[in-house]
Amino acid sequence: MEKVGIIGIGHSKFGRRDDVTVQELAFESFVEATTDAGITQRDIGATLIGASPVYMTQRSISGPITEYLGLNPQPVWLIEAACCSSASALRTAYALISSKMHDIVLVLGVQKMLENETSEILKIMGRTGDVQWEAPYGTTFANYYAMYAQSHMTKYGTTSEQLAKVAVKNHYYGSKNKKAMFQKEITIDRVLESQIIASPLHLFDCCANADGSAALIVASEEKAKQLSDTPVWISGLGASSAPFSLLTRPELSTLTSAVEASKIAYNQAKIEPKDIDVAAVHDCFTIAEIMAYEDLGFTERGKGGEFVEKAYIGGQTPINVDGGLKSKGHPIGATGCSQVVGIVKQLRGESGDYQVDGAETGLTLNVGGHGEYCVVHVLTR
């Protein structure tokens, strides 16, 4: 099978972006990506927008964005899979190119979340769970991950201090990332002294809602070699789902969708977890990163709380060294593409103060909702 490569990347500043419309926000990463790839709108055969429209006033948001970016009359599709919408869009782009339907595809993740009040965002995110049996009882996103944390602590003895260390690590690296929402380091004490949001999760165990966009130019092997001296190849793709309702999950100390998706991606790429040089994993809450260590096979089950010490640059597997969702912020439609942008920069040696020396193989884990969707990509230089 022909290879599929990423030849252009772009990333807006994440945060409260009251200075731009959603179209202008998309434009920021689009211009960076097309400039990076050395192409124009005419070279793009199709566009895939990863976004969750429920947060936006405009319906069918892919239409106004592609009009603003000058991409008509090329086809466009909106891909929605909660927090892993744009990772799912990248998977779809891979399929379009592998089928030879298109040879250059734009994948653009974008979200304007902060046009809504926090209370409204909490209600919307709570409805990511089952609206018949869960949401009516007041579930929020933090509630779901608090249940994961309680389960992991009960089963394996994971501590609040270990959760806090994830936040400290990711804010340390986020302080070096100029595109991150939060660019200040924090301490373990700061995390543990912050307000309890959903026990045992403190305020600093939780990522922030944000506005942002990230873009990828994806190309066939022939086009990638023509247009780029440094294409990054999509070597493995895994995707999986899990029961939508937590009531039907077999256990709450793991995301079975992440386990399954990573197995598929490793198998296609013909690698093992030990071969990953750098990873970007879904850390919407600190417990999510600890579960990811285990679900991806970086450490044995129950040892995730200890593994954070090995997830720094220079450790066994550097993880979220661009700050992760925790420090960058989490504009849910943009997060999947943002993770891929970070890994592409690592594999091209362009990450500056947070570069992993000699990185040749990277991984992204993007989770939708509270684990009902999961997409894993393995990327190689």
Question: In CATH, what number is assigned to the domain containing residue 98?
Answer: 3.40.47.10
In a domain, 82, yes or no: yes
In a domain, 251, yes or no: no
In a domain, 22, yes or no: yes
Average pLDDT over the chain reads 95
Instruction: Write out the residue range of the structural domain in which residue 109 sits.
Output: 4-116+209-227
Nearest to 365 by CA among 215, 264, 214: 264
Average pLDDT over residues 63-82: 96
Active site residue 330: yes
Q: Catalytic residue among 83, 84, 337, 374, which?
A: 83
Nearest to 63 by CA among 31, 359, 51: 51
In a domain, 152, yes or no: no
- Can you give the pLDDT at residue 255? 97
Residue 57: band (very low, low, confident or very high) from pLDDT cuts 50, 70, 90:
confident
- Can you give the pLDDT at residue 55? 76
In a domain, 148, yes or no: no
Q: Is the pLDDT of residue 133 over 90?
A: no
Q: Which of 207-221, 241-255, 278-292 has the lowest mean pLDDT?
A: 241-255
Q: Catalytic residue among 152, 202, 282, 330, which?
A: 330
In a domain, 136, yes or no: no
Q: Give the pair of three-digit tokens for residue 233.
A: 């190849």
Q: What total number of domains does the chain contain?
A: 1
* Contacts of 132 by beta carbon, 8 Å cutoff, 6+ apart: none
Active site residue 202: no
- Can you give the pLDDT at residue 318? 98
Average pLDDT over residues 314-326: 98
In a domain, 62, yes or no: yes
Give the integer Cα–Cα distance in Å for 236 and 173: 26
CA angle at 285 for the pair 282 and 287, rounded to the nearest 5°:
90
Q: Is the CB of residue 378 less than 8 Å from the CB of residue 265?
A: yes
Average pLDDT over residues 354-377: 96
Give the integer Cα–Cα distance in Å for 376 and 378: 7
Which residue's structure tokens are 């933090």? 142
In a domain, 25, yes or no: yes
